[in-house]
Amino acid sequence: MRVAVVTGASSGIGAALCRALAGQGWHVVGLSRRPAPEAAEHEECDVADRASVEAAAARVLERHPRVDLLVNNAGVGMREGFLSGDLDHVERVLRTNYLGSVWTLRAFMPALGRGARVVNVVSVAGTIAVGPYSASKHAQLGFSRSIAAELASQGVDVLTVNPGFVETPGFPQRSRFNFLMGRLVVDPPFVADRIVAAIESGRREIVVPRWYRPLIWIQALAPGLVARVLGRF
């Protein structure tokens, strides 16, 4: 039995991923603050709280001493900037989106043997500088790429996933845009299917959908131009 642990499993990409993995024969353990009906098992967990992560992991590892797939998917959104946003919210975004991945990986490391995989659901926002959410995802992106190098010697592969705009209950997107721009927004099952395909093919980093790649290239090649353009909006 292949065991997968998915954080943020109660809704959005996490719930869709639980369903997609189950369809491929995985036994899925969902970690989230709310129930995760798409998972075979569920543990209540707030990844922003290190003690909560460690306690949930201990309970899971009692039943499943080996985990074949760990998905760091839990995340919270924030549209405000550093100068206008609530500082408690800024801190929660950082704890959830970045430190939550660090704490979850460390807690489940004893169960990740050779051949296991770690998936970090980051964001295209992690490559473009736009406020605390982007900063937290940039940190998570750096973590994901760094841990890929650290885990290589142990035979554990890492997949970094950078989705673009995704319509989720916790971070709705389509209502922000007009009809044409709204077509750039995808739904969680689309992302989940791409993640499962990337796991099966052994990919190391993907952008979902692929048409967001030019935005990443522009930010890398002309950061000053991007800052000026974003500043106007």
d(CA 16, CA 81): 29
Domain total in the chain: 1
* Res 178: pLDDT: 47
98 is catalytic: no
Q: pLDDT category, 215, cuts 50, 70, 90?
A: confident
Q: Is the peptide bond before 169 cis (omega within 30 degrees of 0)?
A: no
Higher pLDDT, residue 18 or 233: 18
d(CA 29, CA 134): 28
% the chain with pLDDT above 70? 86
* Res 180: pLDDT: 46
d(CA 44, CA 137): 23
Residues 137-145: what's their mean pLDDT?
96
Residues 206-229: what's their mean pLDDT?
74
DSSP string of 49-117? SHHHHHHHHHHHHHH-S--SEEEE-------S-TTTS-HHHHHHHHIIIIIHHHHHHHHHGGG--TT-E
Catalytic residue, chosen from 108, 133, 143, 212, is 133
d(CA 159, CA 206): 8
For 3-45, the pLDDT digits (tens) are 999 999 999 999 999 999 999 999 999 999 999 999 999 999 9
**pTM for the complete prediction?**
0.90
Residue 62's domain comprises 3-232
For 152-166, the pLDDT digits (tens) are 999 999 999 999 877
- What CATH number is given to the structural domain containing 89? 3.40.50.720
**DSSP 8-state assignment for residue 164:** -
Nearest residue to 200 via CA among 166, 157, 140, 151 = 157
pLDDT over 90 at 232, yes or no: no
* Res 175: pLDDT: 55
